[in-house]
Structure formats: structure tokens, C-alpha cells
Structure 1
Amino acid sequence: MNYRHIYHAGNFADCMKHTLLVSLLQHFLRKDSPFVVLDTHAGIGRYDLESPEAEKTGEYHDGIGKLWAEAPDSPLTPWLELVRKAGGPRFYPGSPLLASLMLRPQDQLICCEKHPVDKRALYRLFAGQPNISVHERDAYESLRALLPPKTARRGLVLIDPPFEEPGEFDRLAQALQTIHTRFAAGMIAVWYPIKHRTPVRQFHTNVEQAGYRNVLVAELLMRPPHNPDALNGAGLLVIKPPYGFAEQAKAQLNRLKTALGAFEAIVSELVPE
């Protein structure tokens, strides 16, 4: 596998995923007690949108590139403020950098990145920050090694695979079981691509049948999911979302739908509490 997110950084799927991630993390900040974030597919953390790789695809032009002029009262503002703080519009922050900007001294970020070159870039980005650790290890193996967290009872596990290998949805279903067993109190957010509906429906069915409670699905579709060779949309499945998150997600995805010219925005309860 030779996946490089720089080709896709700042595209519609990133915008959707990251604005929802910021909203999830905001809920942890409402209490003084510490929380931990485990990012299983961390990448390099920050992406240069003026790089040849980003310009080669130009995907960010139809994502973050359309959102800089958002009004101050936009539901996207908390996320966009962090993007600017991280170096936007030239540099786009990945999920670990966004999370790091929201940490307090008592909170912790754990980043896992399997690719050694990307791991070194991530390590340099967070050098000198004592509450951030970077591990060069397999994402799914890390769940057994690093959960439950030692520093907090509250936390979020973010799983964001590149979906370059077959069977990723099956590995995700197994990962959810591992997290649920080792960190039952934790919140889980899983990003997934939508090319066509069949594998997504099967993944949702597996989650429903696994016995989890309080599961929310948020999806942004740029076009009808009829072409299995195209990224037609993206989704975020959240187990144990905080109170009020569904309403936030609806407002944010509806705004993204309008601003990006998307086909459909969906927020639905997959499994009730």
C-alpha cells in the first residue's frame, strides 16, 4: 500500500470529517476532567496545499478552497478557525493537528502511523509537546496495545483508514469489537468512503447486529453513489455521540451541502440508546 493523503488533503471528505471531529472534541471540553484521543491512521498531520502533489489532483479547490469566505456565524466556524490557526489557507491540518490544537494540559493525544516516513514527519510536528505521543505501528494492532488509556477515563478513538486494501469494512467491524471490549466508556468515530451503497449497508448491518447502542451516522454525498470507481461521498459513524451532536452535525452538513454543491446530506440514528 502506498497511500499518500497529500493528494486528497482538504477535499470535501476532509471538510466533512474534520468539522464533525471538532464538534465531537468540543463536548469533552465542557468538563475539567482529562480526555484522550487515539488517532489510529494519523498521517503527517499537516499538508501543503501548494505542493505539486496537492496541485496535481486539485481536490482541495472543491473542498476547503470554497469555504474561506464563510460568515462568522457559520456552523463551520469553529473548525475553520482551527484550520487558519494551523496555517491555512496554504497549509491544511489533518485530524491529529486539529485535535492537538484543542488539547488542554491535562489531555492526551496518541497518534499511530504505520508508514515510517510519515511517522517521522508527525514526530517532528509534535516534538516537545509532552501530552502528545507518536507511534510507528499498525492501526488495528494499536487498539490492543494502547487501550484502555492510562491517563483518562474519557476519550475518543478515531479510525480513518485509507481503504486501499480489500476487506477494510470487515477489519473496521472487528476493530469496533476490540474497542468496545477494552474501552467500553469511550466514544468511537469511524470514517468511511461511499462509492456505492452495498458495502456501506453491510457495514451498517454488522454494527447493528453487534449489539452497540447509541450509534449515529452522518454522510455527505457529492453525487448519487452509483459509480463504484469514484468517491461519491463520505460518512462518519459515531458510537456514543454526545448529547446535541446530531443537531450540530445536521447544521454543519447542510451548510457543506450548500457551499460545496453536494447532492445530499444525511444524519440518522442507526441504533438508538
Structure 2
Amino acid sequence: MNYRHAFHAGNHADVLKHVALLALCEALTVKSSPCFALDTHAGRGLYALDGNSAQRTSEARDGIGRLLAEAPKHPVIARYLAAIKACRAAHGAATYPGSPWLLAHALRPEDRIAACELQPEEAAALKTNFARDARIAVHQRDGYAALKALLPPKLGTTKFGRGLVLIDPPYEAQLDEFDTALTALREGLSRWPEAMYALWYPIKLRRVLHSFYREATKLPAKSTLVAELLVRPDDSPLRMNGSGLLILNAPWQFDGTLAPALAMLRDAMGEAGASSRVEWLRAPA
């Protein structure tokens, strides 16, 4: 696997993913009991947007760069932009936080996080970046296998009744990755059915995802929600026009929370013909 997220850090897909991730964390921390988060494809956790990799693609310029310039007024977006500000205050003005950093920022001292990364160089950087945070266990291992190994979560005699699993694969295998991810979600749900699950996926042509949507509705979750942001018209097979999140067991009324925020992201980062979508594939009973 040759994927390096440093080339894509801070792009429109990261913005969608991380805005939603922090909103899910907000829902998790409403209750006082501790929670657990598993990040299956964690990367290194922190990225330098002024580094060679990010500068080579300049994807952040049209992602977080545009959003910072526009700063739409919505609580969900404001929470994300505040996290970016906090990260840069701690690590430098050109830093972009990956999902492990955002989880650590949003969750509490009593909560626990497991971050998995298979690539040795990225895993080593991840361990270095979080060496001082006792809440975070870093695993150099396959993220899909981690669902079987680490779920249901427990710490000593403590079992976690609530939590979040983020699955953010590179999709180097293209359509095969969707099948692998759906199998992993089914495994996770069988082991920890009460958790929320968020699977990120790229969108080139949305119509090719119909079989994915159909199979997703068969998963044994209480609810199935899709949240999608396309920054370009849905008509080019050569580019990633947008991306989405498949969210299982989403919080109550999460669609109403997320939909207006995604519309603002669309307006801030999108070209002509951009769109956003928040829709239940299976509504909560």
C-alpha cells in the first residue's frame, strides 16, 4: 500500500469527515459515562500543510483554506474551526490535525482511544505524536483486523457501553474496498452493536455507489445515514468530486444537525454544480 495522507490533508474530504467526527464526539460526551473510540486507519495524526507532500497537490487550499476564509456561521463548523485553531496554537500555524488528534481534542480524560496504522513510518510518527497522552493506545496493525481484536472494548474490568468506530481506508483497491469495509462493519456490529460507526468513502460518480447503498441497508444497525458533500458536479470519472460518510447508529436527530452545516460547506468550498446530501437509508425506529 503506497497511500500517504499527507498529500491530501486538509482537502474537502477531510473537512467533511472531521466536521462530522467532532459532531459525533459532541453527542458522545453529552452523557457522563466514559466512552471509547477506535480509529482504524489513523495515519500520523498531524500534517504540515507547508510540507512538500501537501504543497505538491495544494488540495488544502481548496479545502480548509477556503473554509477558513469563509468561516460559515454554524455551531458544528465553529467547533471544527476552533479545533483547527487549537491544533495550530500547539503545533504551528501550518499544521492540520488528523482524526486521532481531533478525537483526543474532543474526548475527555476518562475516555479512551485506540488508533491503528499499518504503515511503519506513519505508525512511528503516530506513536511519537501521542506519546504523552495516556488515553491513546497506538497499534501498528491492520485496521480491519482491529475490529475483531479490539471490540468490544474494555480496560481492565471496565467495559465501554458507548463509543465510536471511524473507518477511513485509502480505497487503493477501488470497488473491492467497499466490500471489505462492509464486511468489517458487519463484524464490528456483531461485537459491539451499541456503538456508532462512521465509514468514509470517495465519490467520483455517485451512481456507481448504488450497490454499496443497497448492501449498507442490510447491515444489522438500528439506523443508517449517509452524509455527502460534492464540490464539483457529479459527472467526472477521472476526479474525486466529493465524498461521503456512512454513519450507523447515528445520534438522535443527527441529520438535522448535519444537513445545514454541509450546505454551508458546499457553498464555501464548492464549484458551480456542487451539492450536499444528508439522507436516511434506514431511519431510526
* Alignment of 1:125 onto 2:133: no
Aligned pairs for 1:13-28 (under 5 A) are 13-28=13-28
Aligned to 2:43: 43
* Alignment of 1:171 onto 2:164: no
- Whether the aligned pair in 1 keeps the contact of 2:193 and 2:221 (CA below 8 Å) is no
* Alignment of 1:272 onto 2:283: yes
| CA apart distance, 1:198 | 4.1
How far does the alpha carbon of each residue in 1:157-192 deviate from its partner, in whole angstroms, 9 at most, with x for none?
000001011400000110111011000111100000
Aligned to 2:266: 257
Aligned to 1:241: 250
How far does the alpha carbon of each residue in 1:39-61 deviate from its partner, in whole angstroms, 9 at most, with x for none?
00000001000001111110000
Aligned pairs for 1:55-66 (under 5 A) are 55-66=55-66
- Whether the aligned pair in 1 keeps the contact of 2:25 and 2:107 (CA below 8 Å) is no
How far does the alpha carbon of each residue in 1:117-145 deviate from its partner, in whole angstroms, 9 at most, with x for none?
10010000100211100000001111110
Aligned to 1:4: 4
CA distance in 2, matches of 1:71, 1:141: 39
Using the size of structure 2 for normalisation, the TM-score is: 0.92
Distance change in 2, residues 1:2/1:272 (3 Å): same
Could you list the structure 1 runs, at least 4 aligned residues long, displaced by more than 4 angstroms after superposition. Answer: none
Aligned to 1:229: 238
Gaps of 5+ in 2: none
| CA apart distance, 1:28 | 1.1
* CA RMSD after TM alignment: 1.4
Aligned partner letter, 2:246: L
160, 170, 179: which one pairs with 1:162? 170
CA distance in 2, matches of 1:19, 1:105: 22
| CA apart distance, 1:196 | 1.4
Aligned pairs for 1:142-221 (under 5 A) are 142-151=146-155, 152-166=160-174, 167-221=176-230
Using the size of structure 1 for normalisation, the TM-score is: 0.96
* Alignment of 1:86 onto 2:87: yes
Aligned partner letter, 2:137: S
- Whether the aligned pair in 2 keeps the contact of 1:35 and 1:153 (CA below 8 Å) is yes
Where 2:251 maps in the other structure, the secondary structure is coil
* Identity in percent: 44
| CA apart distance, 1:216 | 0.7
Where 1:193 maps in the other structure, the secondary structure is strand
CA distance in 2, matches of 1:200, 1:35: 32
Gaps of 5+ in 1: none
Distance change in 2, residues 1:211/1:28 (3 Å): closer
| CA apart distance, 1:9 | 0.5
- Whether the aligned pair in 1 keeps the contact of 2:114 and 2:136 (CA below 8 Å) is yes
| CA apart distance, 1:89 | 4.4
Aligned pairs for 1:101-116 (under 5 A) are 101-116=105-120
CA distance in 2, matches of 1:99, 1:50: 23
Where 1:83 maps in the other structure, the secondary structure is helix
- Whether the aligned pair in 2 keeps the contact of 1:70 and 1:77 (CA below 8 Å) is no
How far does the alpha carbon of each residue in 1:208-267 deviate from its partner, in whole angstroms, 9 at most, with x for none?
133433111000012233222210110001001111321121121011011112510100
- Whether the aligned pair in 2 keeps the contact of 1:160 and 1:190 (CA below 8 Å) is yes
How many residues are treated as equivalent by the alignment?
Answer: 273
- Whether the aligned pair in 2 keeps the contact of 1:218 and 1:266 (CA below 8 Å) is yes
**Which stretch shows the higher mean deviation, 256-265 or 135-144?**
256-265
